[in-house]
Each structure stands twice: as structure tokens, then as C-alpha cells.
A and B are shown apart, each in its own frame.
Chain A
Amino acid sequence: MIIQTKNISKRFGELIALDRVSFEVEKGEVVVIIGPSGSGKSSLLRCLNGLERVDSGEIIIDGIKLDKDKKSIHKVREEIGMVFQDFNLFPHLSVLGNLCLAQKVVRKRDEQTSEKTSLELLKKVGLLDKKNSFPSQLSGGQQQRVAIARALAMNPKIMLFDEPTSALDPEMIGEVLEVMKVLAQEGMTMLVVTHEIGFAREVADKIIFMDQGKIIEEGQTEVILNSPQNPRTIAFLSKVLK
């Protein structure tokens, strides 16, 4: 079990973002989390790498228990890469600079090693020719591919994707999903919050449906998509599959 959560809850004032959520992810599994907006999907991802702190419950990542201790949060973050909806590339650094920064200051790699890793990854996401460009010179799809490469440069064991294609123009969604498919085929453990049901059908091992901070239904991809049991899952899927 590379990810384990037990009864995690999180409130933002009055709003209950997560309500006693428990689930497990095996190494190499691709899990897609779906659900209406405000259902707690993003909060769940943010809790897993300590960007948000849970109010109660337990999170264990690759054997490390995530608690208030800063060292454990730090250790866990080194294991987990995260890709955001709005890319969050560093605008003052070139593409190469974006990829190299954390390798140098966190992993303490030297200039040469980090550059070599970066170039290999840029090749992988098909953006080697953009290594000296700045984020503002790239399209949304290109920026998101750089963001994926930047996270991969830290050699994470788990990748979290928080609606990676929601901010993209329709014609750019494909290129980002393509990169993610390759990653999944290579055996990366992935947690993906997305509305791309087609992607889920093709890549996901497991689907989790969330609503109002709770896991309503979870199971194998085909089972959830073809014969959902819970009325809320049925209602949601009938809307997104329309």
C-alpha cells in the first residue's frame, strides 16, 4: 500500500471539505477521482502532500506517517509530485530553470546532473526545443507539460494531478492526457482529479466518486462507469457522459 488514509476530515470554517475519508492506493495503480465541484476532490489531493493539514484522521504515504512534524511533511513531499490546474510554473525562470531549481536546492544535484535530467524529461514531454523559452511564451498545453516534467524531475513515487486539463483550450487537452497515459503505462502511481471520463475509462484502474466531502462509491473503472450503484453516482455520470 503506497497511500493509506484513515478517516481523514477537513473543515474550512463552516464548510466540511472532507468527511471521514478512507481509501488505499497500491503501488503502480492509477486512480481517478471524480465528482461535482466542491466535493472535496482537490482538498483530498492537497492533504496528501501536506499543502492542507487534516483536522483528524491518518495519512500514511510509502510508510511515512504524515503528522504535524515538519520533517515528515518534507519527506512526503519529496516522494510526491503534484500538477496543478493552472500550471503554476515560475514565470521568472526559463523552462530549463523551472525544471532545475528544485533538483538543485532540494535534491542537491549539481548543475550538470540536473540539466541532464531536465533535458531527458523535456524530450519525453516533447518540448526539448522550448528549453530556453519562458512560461509566458508557451501555450497552456505546453505549460502543463513543462509542469509535469518539473514534477517528474524530482523522481517522485507518486504523482497527483489536480484537474490538469480544466484550464486548457479543448485542442490542447489531448497532448497533456497523452503524456499522462505514457506515465501510467510506465507504472507510475497516479491520483488524478479530472472530468475527462474518456481518459478515466482508458487509463484508470480504479475510480472514486466523491460528493460533499465523502467517498460515495469506489471500485474498478468498468464497474463504476458501466453499472454504478449509488443514485448520486448515477446522476453525476449521466450528466458528464451526456
Chain B
Amino acid sequence: MPLQEILYWISSQFLILKNILFFLAPAIPMTIKLTLVSFTFALFLGFLVGIARLSKNKLIKSLSKIYIDMIRGIPLLVQIFFIYFGLGKVLNLDRFLAGVIAIGVCYSAYLAEIIRAGIQAIHRGQYQAALSLGMTPYQTMRYVILPQSFRIIIPPVANEFIASLKDSSLVSIIGLRELTRAGREYYSQYFVDFHTWLVVGIIYLAMTLSLSRLVSFLEKKYKVHGYGIQH
């Protein structure tokens, strides 16, 4: 093959990739927005359920256990279908809200277990010291236990955040125009599957890698003096 043809081929490849990127770019903010909103919701809900898991009240405790077991036992994709096509018809949910609820509820179950474990990891002596100083159970949680748990749970919570970014692609199935949906649209117009999904994959990778970087930065920043090497 003459050199000229090779160069032409290469530049045409880049042109295709560039076209795809330009087509997909407007959908990226939706992926980010969907992830941020649903994960914030998941954190809030997960915190409540995680605390409920530790409740002395047996009813609250077993209800939260049932919630976690149920949510974790059903595929996210099925939950999305159920919430959008099942509940959505009754409650009149739009695609975005249905996606937020589905991802939020699903991830809240995983986060609840992480938060519970983070609280339980704190040594019993810390409660006793705080209580014996006259602090209430609430003050003990707020000033002694949670600040220590927080550091323990940053890495696993960050993992879930990255996972939720990837799982936001599932919401494409109900027609929300986020990154994966935009990829499908491009593909069905131009039929270049290799290039389309290559670019979609790279965009997700770029987002998840930057998040990992951000997490290690945060971990370093919030590291406490010699935490974990007591005595």
C-alpha cells in the first residue's frame, strides 16, 4: 500500500473518532449529573439504613436488614425497569428521576453495610471513654465515633462511587440520554460499532481514573496523625 493511502486511512480514522467524540460530548454532563445526584441520595439513605442496622430496636434493625438483603439481591437493571415502568407509571416519574431513585436505592444498600462496618470498627473503649465523660450517645457518635469511622470508610465509599458512575450507563435502557445512550444513537445512525464503543469506553475510563486520583488525594489530605498505629 502506498504511503499516501496509509496516511489517508489513519486520518480518516481520527476523523471518525473526532466525530464520535463531538457527538457524545453533550451527553457527558448528564452522566455526571445522574451519578452525582443519585450517589448523594444513596449516601443519605445509606447512612440512615446503616445507623438503623445498629439500632437496639429489634423491629428497626430487622427492617433495615430486610431492606439491604432485598435490594442487594435484585439486579440493578431489574430495579430500573421496576421503578420506571412499574412505579413510574403510577407516580408519573420522568426518566431522570427514575434513574436517580433506582441507582440511589441500590447503592444505599451497599453503602449502609460499609457505614455500619465503619462504625463497628471503632473500639468499644472509645464509647466507654466518651460516655464516662458524660457525653450523651448522640454526642459520642457525633464527636468521637463518626469522625474516626469517616476515615475508615473513605476508600470503600469511593469504590462505590466509581461503580455507580459505571452503572449509570444502565439507565440508557429507559431512554435517558446519557453517555451510553448517546453511543447507541450514534451507532444506529452510522453503524461504526468498533469506533463508537471505543470512544464511549475511553470517556468512562477518563472519568473513573480522574475520580480514583481525586480519592487518593482526599485520603492523603484527611489522614490523621498515626491513625491506625495506636500505642
CB closest chain-B residue, reference A51: B128
**Contact A51 B227, beta carbon cutoff 8 Å:** no
Q: Quick check: is A205 within 8 A (CB to CB) of the other chain?
A: no
**Contact B125 A84, beta carbon cutoff 8 Å:** yes
**Contact A102 B230, beta carbon cutoff 8 Å:** no
**Contact A106 B139, beta carbon cutoff 8 Å:** yes
* Residues of chain A in range 128-146 having any CB-CB distance to chain B below 8 Å: 134-137, 140, 143
Q: Which of A82, A91, A105 contacts B132 (CB 8 A)?
A: A82
Residues on B with beta carbons closer than 8 Å to the beta carbon of A49 = 132
Interface centre among A84, A91, A134 (most CB of B within 10 A): A91
Interface string of A65-76 (1 = CB under 8 A from B): 000000000100
A-B CB pair tally, cutoff 8 Å: 78
* Residues of chain B in range 189-231 having any CB-CB distance to chain A below 8 Å: 224-227, 229-231
Q: Quick check: is A11 within 8 A (CB to CB) of the other chain?
A: no
Q: Quick check: is A92 within 8 A (CB to CB) of the other chain?
A: yes
Interface string of A131-175 (1 = CB under 8 A from B): 000111100100100010011001000000000000000000000
**Contact A51 B132, beta carbon cutoff 8 Å:** yes
Residues on A with beta carbons closer than 8 Å to the beta carbon of B148 = 90-92
A105 to B229, CA, bound (A): 27
Interface string of B89-132 (1 = CB under 8 A from A): 00000000000000000000000000000000001011011111
**Contact A74 B226, beta carbon cutoff 8 Å:** no
Q: Tell me the smallest distance from the CB of B124 to a CB of chain A, in Å.
A: 9
- B interface residue numbers (CB < 8 A to A): 123, 125-126, 128-136, 139, 143-144, 147-148, 151, 224-227, 229-231
5 contacts between A and B (CB under 8 A): A88-B125, A92-B151, A135-B230, A136-B230, A143-B231
**Given A91-B230, A106-B134, A137-B225, 5 additional A-B pairs, CB 8 A:** A49-B132, A88-B125, A136-B227, A147-B129, A154-B133
